[in-house]
Amino acid sequence: MIPFNTCPVCNGEVVAKQTEKLLRGGVNFAAVIVSAEICLRCGEHLYSPETLRRFEQVRRKLSAQDVEGFEPLGRSFRIPNEGG
């Protein structure tokens, strides 16, 4: 259940979509596929309280290196600032 009919930021129309959210916990990242309401006008992503709780859970697991059941997805990199 998503509690929004219109965007709380700009009052625009929102549509339900599957979206990929990148979460970070400590040095680990995870891409989580969730449903969100996305504003057609400003692009704001709106998540249900259940989804936000799930994000928190995943972040905690990432911080604790507790990634059992998570599917490995490529590698992560950090690009240093080259002073440009």
Binding Zn ion by CB under 5 A: which of 27, 42, 52, 64? 42
Nearer to Zn ion, 45 or 59 (CB): 45
**12 is a contact residue toward Zn ion (CB under 5 A):** yes
User: Is 26 in contact with 37 (CB distance < 8 Å)?
Assistant: no
Binding Zn ion by CB under 5 A: which of 32, 44, 59, 70? 44
Nearer to Zn ion, 4 or 70 (CB): 4
